[in-house]
Amino acid sequence: MDASVKALGYVVIETTDPQAWLEFGTRVLGLQAVQEEDRLLMRMDDFVYRLDVRSGSEDGIVAIGWDVGDAATLSELSARLTAAGYAVEQADSAKARERQVDALAIFRDPDDQMDVELYWALRKSNNLFVSPTGANFVTDGVGLGHVFQAVSDEAAYRRLYMDILGFRLSDHIDFPNGGQGVFLHCNSRHHSMAFGQLAGRKLGIGHIMMEVSDLEIVGRAYDKVLDGAAPLFSSLGKHTNDKMTSFYCGSPSAFGIEYGTGGIVIDDDVWRPTRYSEAHYWGHHRSPERIVSESVTPSSSEPALTAGAR
């Protein structure tokens, strides 16, 4: 397949507490904040933003933006989506200016959880990226990071992300209670999109992963979370499939953030998908509060990849 998505580009977030996002984003994650009148743009590299945080009446993810690289790919992918029955809107110039891209197409996530946007030419800033914590984010050629989404119909998401948008299978992980996680790549990052049917889980993006180049930065962020800067979802641990050493915490908008380092790089010429029976080599223990809250209400935003209720 020729035309395909190239990388995860941006995430648009609505929040009832922009001040909490400012503190969490800068102090814990090490993102650079650029405050505008009605929104908080958060940078992790040369691009003008990676997170676009808007003040609103609800908390959650409004849109995810995928970089498709050029205008020809944008029209080809739009045509494929339309042929598959998706209602695709070609955004007007005002919307493109707002997103700071040359052009974008918008369609609704199959589970109606958010807008999915395809764009090309996200602007780069004239100002140097400076992380307040000294973080160096791994984004060059591999995008913002990855997202994990709890979905109602695995087959529908396979069709969308693999058959239409051109993602390739990285591997599967069996869930302890049945079902599987599906991990897909669109560049050399092990996965940019992952999803699974998770019984009893709230649909939508459970976490966004951000990768930094140095365990030192992960450790310092982890300490801040342990000291109460954000709710800890899972302890430090190492994933089987992408080999990422990471921890999970809650963002001010309830969904999770995975913050890690050391993810592997995929070479499509030699990569062969496999299957894992566990998501972790060690660590990633769910915090006791998370286990309790999940047994009471199916509103968790963290992946059910941790074995059992440990």
Q: Which residues would be at the binding site for Fe ion (CB under 5 A)?
A: 209, 258
Nearer to Fe ion, 6 or 239 (CB): 239
Nearer to Fe ion, 25 or 303 (CB): 303
Report yes or no: 65 and 104 within 8 Å, Cβ to Cβ: yes
* Amino acid symbol at 57: S
Nearer to Fe ion, 117 or 258 (CB): 258
The helix or strand, by DSSP H or E, that contains position 82, with its residue range, turns out to be helix 71-83
Nearer to Fe ion, 77 or 221 (CB): 221
In DSSP notation, 139-167 reads -TTT-S-EEEEE-S-HHHHHIIIIIIT--
CB neighbour list of residue 141: distance below 8 Å, 6 or more residues apart: 7, 187, 188
SS3 50: coil
The helix or strand, by DSSP H or E, that contains position 23, with its residue range, turns out to be helix 18-23
Q: Give the shortest CB-259-to-Fe ion separation in angstroms.
A: 10
Nearer to Fe ion, 166 or 206 (CB): 206
165 vs 186: CA distance, rounded Å: 9
Q: Give the shortest CB-222-to-Fe ion separation in angstroms.
A: 16
Nearer to Fe ion, 18 or 145 (CB): 145
Report yes or no: 72 and 105 within 8 Å, Cβ to Cβ: no
Q: Give the shortest CB-38-to-Fe ion separation in angstroms.
A: 30
Q: Give the shortest CB-195-to-Fe ion separation in angstroms.
A: 11
Q: Give the shortest CB-273-to-Fe ion separation in angstroms.
A: 17
138 vs 188: CA distance, rounded Å: 12
Q: Give the shortest CB-185-to-Fe ion separation in angstroms.
A: 13
Report yes or no: 71 and 80 within 8 Å, Cβ to Cβ: no
